[in-house]
Structure formats: structure tokens, C-alpha cells
């Protein structure tokens, strides 16, 4: 059963990991407008002053008879190499839970972006923001939390001439509305893989990344009473293929669960798949 926390996310990923990367001494020859190709983890991070990035993603979750399919548009703008803003506008195309169906706008969000370390081959970024109750909290299943929620993220990306690796952890802290509170939920993403150059003079770069994607969602509460059949955790793993050409990025992923646990009577996840297009100008 897709819990309300996923609704909140579609209304769009943990403890902070750190990892050591060998920092290439040669400047990466990425041709993306941001100077550093950012497939999946880290894409749309505002990185170069005056640049705008627009990303459109289609994401689909399947959990036995339940499913969630949503589109998300993210617009990012860099005021400087250090500071930028990101706006997320998700739309739920189809959402089924216990044979109840809903669709419509989800909770939009605005995040401020800070590049705390910004080099040609390496990027460390922090985002903080607010998620607005633009979705519908009354439909079943609901498409929004009905409250103003906090969003926080930490991202690191290393992209040398031949390798890519990245890590992102995100937290969504929800608030009580009309005695009901969606559980907080947390995401982490890790990716590692080679970068291919079929022609050194070509601006086309391709990536083959192994991606680990995890979600921890707390149980919902009503009048401070924990609700059964909500909450749990799931870990997905699978391939992500990505290609960048000048200011364009296209990628797709297909992830299957490698571990999951749910409270109460909830169906198991079957898979998660996503397709993304992005343009930077």
C-alpha cells in the first residue's frame, strides 16, 4: 500500500553518508551548461551564475494492486556560482490505493540552494525549503499533506573524465493539520558508474550507473495516536542510463526492491521506474 508519505513525496529521498573520491587533477571535459554533468543525483542543482535548468520527470511506483504515477517539473536558477533557487511542481497522473483512485496537483515546493564546495569535478550542495499545501488532502488517496512542510537536502557529486559518483540525502518534515500528521519521510540515493566518450571531440557523454535508492517513512498519527498500516522502509537498486549533449540531458532508470519492511497489512513494492528530460540554458 502506498502510504501518505509517498503522496507527500509525489507532491514532488538518511543519515548523512560521506565518501572519499579520488579527485582528478585533469579538468573534466563535460559540455553541460553547468560545467559538471549531473545525471540523476544532483541534476538541476543551480551551479553557474545566470543559468536556468528545466527538468521534466515521469515516475512510476508499483506495489501489487496499488500504483503511483506522477509528473514533476523542476525549474532551477543560479543567481551566482554559490546561490540559487529551485521550484518543484508535481502533478499526480494516477494514484490507486486499496482500489480508491485519485489524481491532480500535488504540493509544490520552493528550495534555496547553496553550493558549499564547487569545483570543475566535484560539487557539494545544501538545499532548504518549504513545501506548500497546493495538493488535495481530502481526496482518497490524498494528493497533498494539507500543511506547510520543511524540506532539507545534502548532495555530493564527483564527475571526472571517466567516472561518476554521487550521494544525496533528503528529509521531509511534515506538520499536523486538523489533528492529522503524515509521518516524516527520508530519502537517500547513491550512484556509481563509468562515463563513456565515443568521440573525444563530441559533446555527447553517456553514463551507466548503478543506483541505490532508499526511503524511510514514519507512521502517520491522528490525535497523537499512531495509525496502523502506515510507515516502513524500502531499498531499491538497479541501472540508470544517462546521456548529456551540450545543455540537454535524457535518462531512464528501472529499480527493483532489494529489501523492504512495512508496518501492518501493506502490499510489497514491485518496482520503481523513471524517465527524465532536462535542458539548461
Nearest alpha carbon to residue 80 among 56, 106, 46: 46
pLDDT for 42: 65
- Mean pLDDT (whole number) for 170-194: 88
Q: What is the pLDDT of residues 58-83, one digit of tens each?
A: 999 999 999 999 999 999 999 998 99
Number of other CB atoms surrounding residue 101 within 10 Å: 13
pLDDT for 58: 95
pLDDT for 262: 87
- Mean pLDDT (whole number) for 115-121: 86
Nearest alpha carbon to residue 258 among 208, 193, 218, 213: 213
Number of other CB atoms surrounding residue 166 within 10 Å: 25
The model scores a pTM over 0.85: no
pLDDT for 34: 34
Question: What does the chain look like in DSSP terms, one character per residue?
Answer: ---HHHHHHH----PPP-------SSPP---STTSS---STTTT---STT-EEEEEEEEEEEETTEEEEEEEEEEEEESSSSEEEEEEEEEEEEEEETTEEEEEE---EEEEEEEEEE-SSEEEEEEEEEE---S-SSSSS-SS-SS-EEEEEEEEEEE-SSEEEEEEEEEEE---BTTEEPPPEEEEEEEEEEEE-SSTTSSEEEEEEEEEEEEEEPPPEETTEEPTT--EEEEEEEEEEEEEETTEEEEEEEEEEEEEEESSS-PPP-EEEEEEEEEE-
pLDDT for 5: 44
pLDDT for 227: 84
C-alpha cell at 196: 563513456
Residue 222 — very low, low, confident or very high, per pLDDT cuts 50/70/90? Answer: confident
pLDDT for 202: 78
Q: What is the pLDDT of residues 34-53, one digit of tens each?
A: 334 455 666 667 777 888 99
Q: What is the pLDDT of residues 225-255, one digit of tens each?
A: 888 888 889 999 999 999 888 888 899 999 9
pLDDT for 181: 85
Q: What is the pLDDT of residues 130-170, one digit of tens each?
A: 999 898 888 888 888 888 999 999 999 888 888 888 999 99
Amino acid at each position: 500500500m502506498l502510504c501518505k508519505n509517498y503522496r507527500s513525496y509525489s507532491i514532488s529521498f538518511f543519515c548523512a553518508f560521506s565518501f572519499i573520491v579520488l579527485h582528478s587533477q585533469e579538468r573534466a571535459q563535460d559540455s553541460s551548461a553547468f560545467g559538471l554533468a549531473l545525471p540523476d543525483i544532483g541534476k538541476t542543482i543551480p551551479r553557474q551564475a545566470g543559468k536556468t535548468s528545466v527538468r521534466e520527470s515521469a515516475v512510476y511506483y508499483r506495489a501489487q494492486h496499488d500504483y503511483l504515477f506522477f509528473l514533476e517539473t523542476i525549474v532551477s536558477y543560479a543567481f551566482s556560482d554559490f546561490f540559487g533557487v529551485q521550484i518543484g511542481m508535481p502533478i499526480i497522473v494516477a494514484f490507486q490505493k486499496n482500489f480508491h483512485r485519485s489524481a491532480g496537483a500535488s504540493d509544490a515546493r520552493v528550495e534555496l540552494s547553496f553550493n558549499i564546495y564547487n569545483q570543475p569535478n566535484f560539487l557539494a550542495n545544501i538545499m532548504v525549503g518549504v513545501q506548500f499545501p497546493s495538493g488535495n488532502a481530502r481526496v482518497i488517496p490524498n494528493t497533498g499533506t494539507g500543511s506547510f512542510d520543511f524540506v532539507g537536502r545534502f548532495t555530493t557529486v564527483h564527475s571526472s573524465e571517466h567516472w561518476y559518483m554521487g550521494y544525496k540525502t533528503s528529509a521531509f518534515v511534515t506538520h499536523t493539520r486538523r489533528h492529522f500528521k503524515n509521518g516524516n519521510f527520508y530519502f537517500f540515493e547513491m550512484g556509481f558508474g563509468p562515463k563513456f566518450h565515443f568521440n573525444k571531440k563530441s559533446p555527447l557523454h553517456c553514463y551507466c550507473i548503478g543506483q541505490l535508492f532508499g526511503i524511510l517513512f514514519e507512521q502517520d498519527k491522528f490525535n497523537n495516536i499512531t495509525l496502523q498500516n502506515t510507515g516502513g522502509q524500502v531499498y531499491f537498486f538497479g541501472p540508470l542510463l544517462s546521456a548529456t549533449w551540450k545543455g540537454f540531458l535524457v535518462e531512464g532508470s528501472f529499480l527493483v526492491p532489494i529489501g523492504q519492511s512495512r508496518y501492518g497489512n501493506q502490499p510489497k513494492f514491485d518496482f520503481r521506474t523513471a524517465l527524465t528530460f532536462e535542458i539548461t540554458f
